[in-house]
Chains A and B, each alone.
Chain A
């Protein structure tokens, strides 16, 4: 038994992969600028968006500025840009990044959404239907929500791999999916009723749920260790083989002579010649392939965030203590009705909390004493990173996310933090900040043009650009 080795290298080259991709995008942009001025036949058009106030990223604005959109990407952002020839010009008061609903149900049928038989390796993108719920998609777009995170098995104990997808209907699949593996989702203490409302349930079942989450991460880590170990063992084995080869090579002449002599002796003595055998170490075997553990290994290693839906204080505490040993794990807590009692630990452990700003009612059971509209604001003030989502059970709810964000603002959540939660914050938490969440060169063109302050009941979204296409225009 060889010694366990610390995991020093991230076996999943996610970040590098992303960088490589963006590099490719830049390259593509340059090529596009040179070769295709404005009219890639069916591709996204070139747009020139001129606004009085341009919110590049939360807390960073420029006045009287413009954006050039080309081939689906933001090609330039600045104050003295010239309108490219042939570009469509759009004017407005305020521009900002498109909103992201990180807890949505749009684009997935109820059967996939409520599937209780999902496992870690279940991929949401496999159940995605870019043509579904067209009217709901259009409503969400009109409200400024351009990208959503959807999750097969939203309320099952282990939901599988979630995806960030564009809301705009009828997109080709490769354009619809922004990131096909933005998280792995699990839940603790939800009832198995459709919609997964956290009804009263047996405490032992809840403990079993907790154990399931922790064991899954543990399995992922063991798998990761076994695989890393195998890689080192394989390297060592290959090294040994190589050494032996060199040795044999070096002594080749002598060995040849010895062999010929032995052969001759054998012939003279009338004995059969026996070839000398070299004993070779057995090639080390990799751990048995397991599709669930493949993705859980990435979770344990921090390559993919783990999203856990939990509401009760005891469950959240259990989750925090159960996962304390996994120092590379990146956790997102969804729901978190009673999360305030653990706010300090959540902040210390950098657990992101995904809040649905309008909590459900108390129900007949009067169960949650701490269900509160001020959850987002209270957590944020305690130093926790807060995201806002529409709850993931009703595909129509994404449309109302901006209203819900306003509600959170009214109940003490800082306005700029709320804006960040809907844009860059969500992109960051789900590993898409290189593509989404702000208006910066090289990012996907997800742009809103409004007639006033974003997240205000008195302003309206006039134009929406998603994936570089103009998907909402003012209705005449």
Chain B
């Protein structure tokens, strides 16, 4: 194994931060991350940026303040930005939309179903912000989805549209940036896919609860559902909950590499422009074998952080853990770890290039990954507070200038 150096950056200035659900490269080539606090009553998300000259994190703003939805209002809070960074190269704006789940400051938990009709408690709505990365300025904000959170966001820059999935109702939302108007196309299911991606025909793809591809076609203005279930382990999975977790576009834009949001996530390659429903290649399980009779913790058995790097290969993080039968790691080996894999997209052979280790806790769960304009890798981590992000220093031979381009346009 060629070990790349990995460095841990903790959200020390946000001690309540228990998750970094979103991490993205901005249109400026720098790395942005969401320091989310969903487990603390009244918790809020702070926008963070990696400062490459100082090799540290800068804390840009508190979301509750910039969108005037204070953390102590008694409502569910602006606690996180889920998979909802959407960079626009045209104007240098990083769009971001907030998500719910953090409890009101005076309650121990929040249920969006329970408080839906409670005007004092109900989440005000997902706040959509336009952040000018050149001027370091919030240009404007709006309520993207009243009462609901935004699970994931995508920008179709050519058409000036943002696409989102709402939570908890799992509706497909289209937002016209110029008109500042949203439109609800309808419900998909219950689970919530964690990702949307765009194809060359401006169609937007996601999944339903049962692992079927769902596609919005602007030509028909309708959602349509594939009759086929995405790859899954037939031994104990049925396709249910095999929704998209993460997906990275290939640099040529011909296909995406995706992982599913279920314990023992599956890797796949999807060619959306081929055939009626695209072509799906099953690349197998992303994580280790394990006891199929146990509904394994989704925070233990996980794969995320898919991103292409300057060398044109796919990188992602899959968890690995000690299991007496299936993976009896030696006693001096960490019991859980996030393994950074490099997948050669020509041979589909994968190579372990780094392990993510934080000094105080395990770091097996990675949400999103990105490559900055210098060609280094970054990963958002979800774990004990305060959580943070990892930087994986790419070898010089695998870097290139502006490695973040073409930029990923979905969270």
Q: Do A and B bind each other?
A: no
Instruction: Enumerate chain A interface residues (CB-CB to B < 8 A).
Output: none
